[in-house]
Structure formats: structure tokens, C-alpha cells
Structure 1
């Protein structure tokens, strides 16, 4: 399988965990790791990761990217690059397809089952829904963040797949902002249009893919052994966890961690949260110790992905959602905080 991901030296700890997790669940894969600074490139290049290809920013950054880079924040520019790095990997390495994966994800079972699903359904590209809980806040959340998530997105190297990829790239070059009144929400809101205007856009149905803080209330831990984690989705559907998206996990001053997961309305399985986050946090801390000892590299807090986001509430439903979210964060949000021991 062919994957690509994108990050800078302040996300290299998570990128290493992503790579290691793929190595644990499969053997035949290649991860194209696009680095946004020389520090990340030099460290990864020195590590000689067997199943990885390391690409420096100057190799994939074309004139159009250089131009928009002048006017965008670090996070906005990273999002702008997403379709461009997928395109670069497919064309430069002559791939039949490439799957973009976010660097802050971890795989718990082989994603080959997802590739098989997409192929069987004859999808030229694939998307995964956020799967927000079915409550009155869902509409506002989809309006703010989009129906689909940029996290595991396959593009086939055929006419239709490349047409969609080129369309996305052009749109991201036009706008990739989170500022007030902007409709793009980085690179993500554009995905809403794909099933409407393009053919063979397949939405992954495997509920073990795309488990994340924004849909954690719909999952409960059923069983766990050394090889797999079994979940129950919406109180009925049993699934094997394929990957979890640790978006929003924030290390503060090297002493305090904000999980950013106890922010949703509905029951949250503490056992599942502890199982996933305790191990992931240990792996991040171990990676940081290794990077400091081996390369004298210290991870800085990455630029907040909510920077510049002043969401504009435009109706009663949006206002209610805001009040509910604020109330939840005040009452249950304290469970997000962990102290590094």
C-alpha cells in the first residue's frame, strides 16, 4: 500500500509513531513522508526507515505554493500543501494510487481492509465522514467542520481520480483559511462537494476507521488483546479499530497534557480513552526523549489548528450549540487534563 503524510519538525514525534504503527500491522507498504523543514528531513533521512521515502520541502514546493506561502499561517500552508503532496507522490513515483494520512493518527489493525472495500465498490477516491453524533448539534458541527474529514483519503491515478485531485489542489491554492466567514475550513470543507459533482467518490463504511475525539461518544470498548481492539458503534455494530485520530492532543509546557476529548455531548467510555491515550502519550514522550538524546531536537508546541478561527454563529441552533459546548467544557472538560509524571 502507498501512503503519504505531511508535517514539520514539531510533529515529527507523532509522525514516527504513525510510521511505527503501520510497521506493526503490515509489512508491504511505503510511506512517503513530506517534511516542511530541514530539521525533520535530516532526522528522518538519518534514521533510514525501511518502508519510508523522505521528501524535503524544496523538492515538492512549486511556484504556486511558494506564492501563497507568503500570505498564510504555518497551519494554513500545511493544509494548502495536502493535495499537492498527494499529486507529487502519484506523479513522481508513478503510483497507481496514494492514500493521504494525517501524521497524528495511529493504526491498530491493517488498513488493507479499507483498500479492499474501496476497490470492491469501484471508488476512484475515498472519503470518511466525521460521524458526528445524531443530535441537534450535528448540523452546526458539519457547517463548521464539514461532513467529511481529511485523514484517510485515497486518490487513484486515473482520469477521474486525478481530475478530482487537481480540482482540490486549485481550490486549496485559492483559499485554505479558518478565518471568520471563510467557507473552506482549511482543506476540508471542499470535500462536501465531491459526492455531488464527481463520479466514483466512495465513502468508507468501515466504522473502525476514523474513530476520533469528535465521534468518541458513539464508541464503546468491547474487548482488547495484543493484536486488536474491538469496539461497539452506536450500541449495535461491532467493529475492529483500524485507526484512531489523536487530533487536538496538546502538550503544555512539558508538564501538562490536554487530551481535548471530553468536549462532546454524550457518554464517553473512560476505559477506551485511557487505553488509547495512555499508550499514545507514553510513545510520544519516548519519541521526544529519543529525539533530544540522539539529535538534540526539542519539540515545540505546534501552531494551534484553531488559530484565526472566529466561528460566526448565524442562528438560534448555532447559538444553542455554542452554549452547550461551552457548558460541557466547563463541567466535563477538567477530565481532559493530565499531568506528566
Structure 2
């Protein structure tokens, strides 16, 4: 039995879409994939690839037959318009391709990880087939904002019940579909909440491995056996990488929506996906070298920063340091870098740049073994709320713990991080400092001043402080972060 799928490819999503296509090639023996090309340049590129088992259709074809859809296009951003177009696309395909006895919508940021057949086995005779968001317990309230079902996967049979559902869905989407919660609506998902009772013969997947995502994976038990992944014992079939952002082939935001992956999930689910994205990007660049330009992560908030080279091989067995530099600290920061280079043969220095001039200057210098972090990458709302209440030096002090935590959190092969102020200098081999650390989770230097000054300024210095990537260190690091955000003044 042939399986029929559809999705949209926009210029922003085409690399993800090709990863999805490659996963279908690997895990579905008999499929056909309908790709709706949002822009002409996407269609031209895909035509050059000569993909098998694929039909390419321009979004203009859909719009020419659905004038109501075309008329509201200017009122939606690109993401909202794609959500809005889902039902119109599936109705178009069912009208034009008589061989389709079913159609499955897949978001472009999904990918198959094992044989697709269990999806169809469970779907059975249902007219419509859905997957749940799985918001439960303390997260159940999210269903009232974002919906009970995830519309990154939806299956429709060619029958009267499913067609009536699609036509109703189309009308609702054209009327309102935006990326904001409003009057019990959000995107296309809240419309689906009552389909089980509204239309009847609607099936809901019991298998957690169909359209799983980082939230579902983080709330359940993920295991690996014989190269297969399981969620609570269900084989992982289709994973939804929503919120994944690709920057330059080495730096990524694993999930921009605030769900946090474990080390195992990063290694099992995200590293293979990243490598698949890089392979697709190489193919695209060989066909059209100007199709994508490398992006830098500066200027963006990145919730789950991941550096591929730091975790795979390039920076392994390095002495890991970080510092925070502003424009006025540039010369001091470069002196610190030079001292580190001189006294640590293997080193990696992470520099948090407090302004655009610092970032662009250091980026243009292309310093060896230096990774730049834009302050905007780590400035979540808690930091932004207090930023204007601190002087420049007070804000720098406040940033130390958030920076260390930010680097260590997802980068599983960085086993420790030492923060040093930009005016620090090494005058001998750095192993002398590391020899004092030994097995403790935290490395801290005593303040060599008299007791009266210690009472006023503290017992220990934070101009040189290190944390290992282990539970006790993270607990203290998070406590230090919270206390500094609440109050950190000169």
C-alpha cells in the first residue's frame, strides 16, 4: 500500500524538509511525497535535484484555486500563512490526484527515525488521525493555550467525514490563524480540540513515538536498544524538531521554545539531525552556492545553545575558559587571550561580547580557539528586567553565573568551565591552577586580604572561578545566578 504525505517547503525550511524527505526514503518502502513550494526559487532548486517519489507544486497553484486563501495572504506572516494553508493544500491534493485514498500532513521540521508502517496500522479505519501534545500534570494548563493536539502531523482519509472536517478547518483557518493566543485560539491547533466529538471517527495515536517532540521526550523515559530509540517502550517513529534553529553549521539552538534536552537526548536525537542538516546544506550549496548565506548567531536570544565542534572533536581535551568583554576592555581581554595562548598549549576561550563593536572586532580577527557569544544570546527576560538598574560593571558581575551555566548546560563534552575577568593574566603554565582544583565540583580562589576587608568584600574571589559539569556544581551555579539577579551592586 502506497503512503501519501505532503508538506510545504519555504526557503527558510527547505534544508529541514530535505532531511524529512531523506528520512522517508530510508524508512518508507512505498511512498509519494507532495511538496508545496512557497517560493519559486525553492521549486527551481528542487527541480534541479530530481527527487524521486516527489511531486512539486507551486503555492500559486493552490492560491489560484482558493482565492479566499490568496486574499488573506498579506495579513499573515510566513509562518502563519503556512499554517493557514494546510487545509487548502490537502483539499487541493485530494481534488487533483484521484489515486489518493488518504493524505498525511507533516510539518517540515519533522523526521522519521524508524519504519513508518506502525502509523498506518494504528490509524486503521479512522477517517482522521491525530497525535496529542501530551500536556499533563503541572503542564496541563498549556492545553488551554496551545491546544490538545499537535498539528505537525494530521492524517485524513478520502471519505465524507474527513472531507467535511477539512472543509470546516479551511474556513476557520482563513478566518483567523495567528501566532498569538487570543480568545481561545492559537495558530491552527486550538481548532482541533473538539474534533473527536465534532466529527466522529477521529482516532488519536496511543503510540508516543508518533510525532514525539522534545517536551514529550523530556517528560518520559527515552531508551536506546539496537540503534532504535524508545519512549516509554514505544519505538520512536517520527520526531518533531520544532524550535530547532540552524545558524552556521557549527552553532545551533536545539529548541527555541524553552524545553531543555538531556545529554542523551542531544546525542541520540539532535546530533544525528544536525549532521543530516549539514549534509543537506552541502548538497544545496553545490547546486546553488548563493541559495543560503551563513548566519551568525549574534543579535539573537538562543535558549539551547549547542556548539558542534566543542562536543564532537575539535575542542576535546582543551582547557576551557570564559570571560566577558566590552569595547573598553578589548585590549585587556586580548592580553588575557595572549597569556592563555602562551601558557596553555590546548585552550578554548569563550568570550561573551557586551556590544556589537566588540563582537565584530573579535570576529574579524578570527582568533584561534576562540568562541564568541553575543550578550543578546543569553539575555533572557530576567536579565533584561534588571539590566538598566545596574552599572556596566555591576551588570558584568551579574552575568558571570548565567554565562557559565549557558555554556555548560547543553555542551556535554565540556566537562568544566573557568571564568576569568578580562584583566586576568597567566604568568606560568595553567596546569598549576588546575592541580589545585582536584576533585571538587567548584574551583574558587581565596581573597588574600585582612579579615576586616574580607567581612566587607567577601572571603573568596570571583575573578577566577570554575565549575565542573556535575549536579552539585550546577546547583551552586544556579543559586549564585539567582542571587546575583536579585541583587548585585558595588
- Equivalent position of 1:313 in the other structure: none
Deviation at 1:286, TM superposition (A): 1.9
C-alpha spacing 1:14/1:264, structure 2 compared with 1 (3 Å): closer
Deviation at 1:117, TM superposition (A): 1.2
Find the residue that maps to 2:211 and give its secondary structure: coil
Cα offsets for 1:242-301 (capped at 9, x unmatched): 011000011246653111279348xx5421322110111111122112212211210687
Deviation at 1:53, TM superposition (A): 0.7
C-alpha spacing 1:332/1:212, structure 2 compared with 1 (3 Å): farther
Deviation at 1:84, TM superposition (A): 1.0
C-alpha spacing 1:175/1:260, structure 2 compared with 1 (3 Å): same
- Equivalent position of 1:195 in the other structure: 196
Q: Is 1:284 the counterpart of 2:277 in the alignment? A: yes
Find the residue that maps to 2:105 and give its secondary structure: strand
Task: For 1:300 and 1:36, locate their aligned partners in 2 and report how far apart those are by CA, in whole Å.
Answer: 21
Q: Is 1:263 the counterpart of 2:258 in the alignment? A: yes
Unaligned runs of 5+ residues in structure 1 are: 302-321, 324-329
- Equivalent position of 1:8 in the other structure: 10
After superposition, where does 1:177-256 map in structure 2 within 5 Å? 177-226=178-227, 229-233=228-232, 238-252=233-247, 256=251
Specify which structure has the bigger relative contact order, considering alpha-carbon pairs within 8 angstroms and separated by 6 or more residues. Answer: 1
Which of 133, 138, 141 is the equivalent residue of 2:140?
Answer: 138
- Equivalent position of 1:274 in the other structure: 267
**Contact 1:110–1:242 (Cα < 8 Å) also in 2:** yes
C-alpha spacing 1:273/1:97, structure 2 compared with 1 (3 Å): same
**Contact 1:4–1:98 (Cα < 8 Å) also in 2:** yes
Task: For 1:337 and 1:164, locate their aligned partners in 2 and report how far apart those are by CA, in whole Å.
Answer: 45
- Equivalent position of 2:315 in the other structure: none
- Equivalent position of 1:45 in the other structure: 47
Cα offsets for 1:211-246 (capped at 9, x unmatched): 1022122333322434xx23242xxxx111101100
Find the residue that maps to 2:138 and give its secondary structure: coil
Deviation at 1:7, TM superposition (A): 2.3
Segments ≥4 residues shifted beyond 4 Å: 330-334, 336-339
Deviation at 1:54, TM superposition (A): 0.7
Task: For 1:184 and 1:299, locate their aligned partners in 2 and report how far apart those are by CA, in whole Å.
Answer: 36
**Contact 1:259–1:337 (Cα < 8 Å) also in 2:** no
Find the residue that maps to 1:70 and give its secondary structure: helix
Find the residue that maps to 1:282 and give its secondary structure: helix
Which of 7, 10, 32 is the equivalent residue of 2:34?
Answer: 32
TM-score where L is the length of structure 1: 0.82
Which of 110, 115, 119 is the equivalent residue of 2:115?
Answer: 110
Task: For 2:197 and 2:41, locate their aligned partners in 1 and report how far apart those are by CA, in whole Å.
Answer: 41
C-alpha spacing 1:295/1:96, structure 2 compared with 1 (3 Å): same
- Equivalent position of 2:87 in the other structure: 83
Find the residue that maps to 1:154 and give its secondary structure: strand
Task: For 2:412 and 2:81, locate their aligned partners in 1 and report how far apart those are by CA, in whole Å.
Answer: 31
Task: For 1:74 and 1:151, locate their aligned partners in 2 and report how far apart those are by CA, in whole Å.
Answer: 16
Which of 1, 17, 20 is the equivalent residue of 1:18?
Answer: 20
Q: CA RMSD in A?
A: 2.6
Deviation at 1:25, TM superposition (A): 0.8
- Equivalent position of 2:292 in the other structure: 298
The structure with the larger Rg is 2
- Equivalent position of 1:124 in the other structure: 127
- Equivalent position of 1:317 in the other structure: none
Alignment size in residue pairs: 302
Unaligned runs of 5+ residues in structure 2 are: 296-380, 383-401, 414-490
Residue range with higher mean Cα deviation, 283-292 or 68-77:
283-292
Deviation at 1:336, TM superposition (A): 4.9
**Contact 1:17–1:106 (Cα < 8 Å) also in 2:** yes
**Contact 2:45–2:287 (Cα < 8 Å) also in 1:** no
Deviation at 1:165, TM superposition (A): 0.5
**Contact 1:258–1:337 (Cα < 8 Å) also in 2:** no
C-alpha spacing 1:58/1:242, structure 2 compared with 1 (3 Å): same
Deviation at 1:108, TM superposition (A): 1.0
TM-score where L is the length of structure 2: 0.58
Task: For 2:216 and 2:293, locate their aligned partners in 1 and report how far apart those are by CA, in whole Å.
Answer: 28
C-alpha spacing 1:114/1:219, structure 2 compared with 1 (3 Å): same
